[in-house]
Chain A
Amino acid sequence: IAGITQAPTSQILAAGRRMTLRCTQDMRHNAMYWYRQDLGLGLRLIHYSNTAGTTGKGEVPDGYSVSRANTDDFPLTLASAVPSQTSVYFCASSEGDSDTQYFGPGTRLTVL
């Protein structure tokens, strides 16, 4: 059982380009989350999904979009990347929205 996988592991991207970060879990968890982690700021919630077919905005949603077509996958899209989106992105999942969250290995994204 892999748990949560994220792809790519790291990416360097030119500003203005579109980028999709992938997240897949095999635990059949209902809830999934996207966070960004920046030095000195801790993890901040970007978007979440409590169940397949639904999504919601977190603390820092601007410039990002998500979709949840099925239980396993929760991709995060940057429509037009900007340097301030340089960060480490973590996907997480939980059985339900009131349960413990478990994190994927992260994607390190650099926007130049």
Chain B
Amino acid sequence: GQNIDQPTEMTATEGAIVQINCTYQTSGFNGLFWYQQHAGEAPTFLSYNVLDGLEEKGRFSSFLSRSKGYSYLLLKELQMKDSASYLCAVRDSDYKLSFGAGTTVTVRA
């Protein structure tokens, strides 16, 4: 099984940068995903890492260190619309996803 930890809540100011950490313990690792979920809506795919290093997609970047069981999602130039929950999910050797409880990010003006 998987054990996935991420902070419950984070608050940041519009225009700032926020880093959401995710640590995991897994019996088999086959990739790590980040999803964004606005209140009352479906999770939407943000990023995927399977190799160590940084993946950049516009204002969002995701980093993975497999040896440390660690990932982070970096949100730059925060906007009010970035207020949402961010879900870290680990895929196991059977290609099944296990999700963390999510980090609620609140962006303040």
Interface residues of A (CB under 8 A from B): 35, 40-45, 48, 58-59, 90, 97-98, 100-106
Contacts and interface: CB of A to CB of B under 8 A. Distances in A.
Interface of B is mostly: strand
Interface residues of B, number: 20
Given A58-B96, A100-B48, A42 B101 contact: yes
B97 to A, nearest CB: 6
Contacts, number: 42
A43 B43 contact: yes
B99 A43 contact: yes
Given A43-B97, A90-B43, 8 more contacts: A42-B4, A42-B99, A45-B97, A98-B30, A100-B48, A101-B33, A101-B97, A103-B43
A100 B33 contact: yes
B42 A44 contact: no
